[in-house]
Amino acid sequence: MVKNESNLKQKRFVFKLVRELKDGNQTVKIDTLWKKIMELPEKEAFESKNKAFINSKQELIATINALEVDNCVMYSPEDGTVVLI
């Protein structure tokens, strides 16, 4: 249960970033998302209350893949593009 709740909060966190960082074509690069996560103040990136943290680029990609399963985004690993649906 805790793992699922944590995963849901991670997905919400990443989806919010995708919406904020998307360009006019509704796309954003995975590297842009990772850079933004790394630049966030610790308070925003890791809140003990909601645990919406991403510890690695691999975890970010896993979260993007989970959002793809939920039909929220499409992800192209070949060029690292995330498309907001």
CA 14 – CA 44 distance, rounded (Å): 12
Q: Are 13 and 19 in contact (CB under 8 A)?
A: no
How many separate domains does the chain show?
1
Question: Model confidence over 20-31: pLDDT tens digits?
Answer: 999 999 999 999
The pTM of the full predicted model, rounded to 2 decimals, is 0.83
CATH of the domain at 19: 1.10.10
Residue in this structure with the two tokens 């890791």, named with its chain if needed:
46
How does residue 41 score in pLDDT terms, banded at 50, 70 and 90?
confident
